[in-house]
Structure 1
Amino acid sequence: MKTKIITLIALLIAGGLNMYAQDKKILVAYFSWSGNTQYVAEQIAKQTGGTLFRIEPVKPYPTEYTPCTEVAKKEKEDNARPAIKNKVEDWDSYDTVFIGCPVWWWTAPMIINTFTESYDFKGKTVIPFCTYASTYRDETLAKIVELTPDAKHLKGFGAVSRNTDGITEWLKEIKVIK
């Protein structure tokens, strides 16, 4: 009898931890160059039960830092829209979309513009997140909000590199997990 009660309590607790994800279908869309943003996206997906979607450019960015920054700067100066290799399957089924990226040239990389312009965000909840070295977290989170004006928005999260300290507390604060 005691074992049955403990099992029942464990099942109730496990079921209640992620109530939001059970009621809402979550997409965790991210662009990552160095792997930092991917790591944070994976942590978000793991805790929310969300589906990961990697935003990949048709033409990959240079793998070396300086050449990559030069390409990113030129894209920003040209207001470019780098083509994306893949599409989100069953877009309309998602209620909540996390959008994440690194900070490039004081803001979101231009491929985030391409992504947000490719889908209808009306009726969706967008939650921005980013990775950064030292500054421009708030500007980058605000840019993602600006790019999705038809969505409802929840407070974003910024991680220094791969540091995900505080991520669980943030997800609880915005009521995405219990």
Structure 2
Amino acid sequence: MSHGVMVMVLIVYYSWQGHTEKVARALAERVGGRLARIEPVSEVGTLRKAMMATFGIRAAIRPTETDLSGVNFLIVATPVWAQKAPPYVNEYLSRVTNASGKPFSVLVEMGNSGAEKVVAIVRKSLEAKGMRFVSSATTLESDVDAGRFDRTVEEFARTIVEAAAPAA
């Protein structure tokens, strides 16, 4: 795929057990995006994870690409914890800069429910920074385990490619 104008798509993901990472990688192959991992300074236990997520707490992360100056399109890929976004994702979102006017999409990986709530959390945070919501997609853990998420990623990738294409 050759573009007259190189569109820089950044896919930022947090993955605890590898499901979100698997989907984020598949998406990167489809949209030619660059991957950046959100890494906690220290992982906490499961119970504390749920508590922190429930209360919308942010938790320290290692430095990652938060300055979107050179980015044309941001994709945030995140799991669902206790019906909320993980604290590390909240922290990443809070650090995003130079994002105004830029489009973003959200990819949510879940066990069984909570995707809409997480999409809403990410949207609220990035729209507050002047970003434009384009699309969201959800994959189920069981489908990711079984390798049955191609169509979802394919359709999601299409929404991103269409939105990221420079107007002719």
Unaligned runs of 5+ in 2: none
Q: TM (normalized to structure 1)?
A: 0.78
Mapping for residues 145-156 of structure 1, pairs under 5 Å:
145-149=123-127, 150-156=130-136
Q: Structure 1 residue 113 and structure 2 residue 99: aligned?
A: no
Match of 1:6 in 2: none
Q: Which amino acid aligns with 1:159?
A: T
**Structure 1 residue 148 displacement after superposition:** 0.6
Match of 2:20 in 1: 37
Mapping for residues 1-178 of structure 1, pairs under 5 Å:
14-15=1-2, 19=3, 22-61=5-44, 67-68=45-46, 70-88=47-65, 91-120=68-97, 121-149=99-127, 150-161=130-141, 162=144, 163-166=148-151, 167-174=153-160, 175=162
RMSD (Å) for aligned C-alpha atoms? 2.2
**Structure 1 residue 177 displacement after superposition:** 8.1
**Structure 1 residue 102 displacement after superposition:** 0.5
**Structure 1 residue 60 displacement after superposition:** 2.0
How many correspondences in the alignment? 155
The sequence identity of aligned pairs, in percent, is 21
Deviant stretches of 4+, over 6 Å: none
Q: What is the rounded CA distance, in whole Å, between the counterparts of 1:132 and 1:76 in structure 2?
A: 14
**Structure 1 residue 46 displacement after superposition:** 0.9
Q: What is the rounded CA distance, in whole Å, between the counterparts of 1:154 and 1:77 in structure 2?
A: 26
Q: What is the rounded CA distance, in whole Å, between the counterparts of 2:113 and 2:51 in structure 1?
A: 21
Residues 89-122 of structure 1 show CA distances to partners (whole Å, capped at 9, x for unaligned) of 7631001010011010102112111101101221
Higher Cα Rg, which structure: 1
Q: What is the rounded CA distance, in whole Å, between the counterparts of 2:123 and 2:51 in structure 1?
A: 23
Q: Which amino acid aligns with 1:25?
A: M
Q: What is the rounded CA distance, in whole Å, between the counterparts of 2:136 and 2:31 in structure 1?
A: 15
Is the contact made by 2:66 and 2:92 (CA closer than 8 Å) also made in structure 1? no
Q: What is the rounded CA distance, in whole Å, between the counterparts of 1:111 and 1:148 in structure 2?
A: 15
Assess, with a 3 A threshold, how the Cα gap between structure 1 residues 40 and 78 changes in structure 2: closer, same or farther.
Answer: same
Q: What is the rounded CA distance, in whole Å, between the counterparts of 1:89 and 1:114 in structure 2?
A: 10
Q: Which amino acid aligns with 1:32?
A: S
Unaligned runs of 5+ in 1: 1-13, 62-66
Is the contact made by 1:28 and 1:97 (CA closer than 8 Å) also made in structure 2? yes
Q: What is the rounded CA distance, in whole Å, between the counterparts of 2:109 and 2:18 in structure 1?
A: 10
Residues 44-74 of structure 1 show CA distances to partners (whole Å, capped at 9, x for unaligned) of 111111110000000123xxxxx42x01122
Q: Which amino acid aligns with 1:156?
A: S
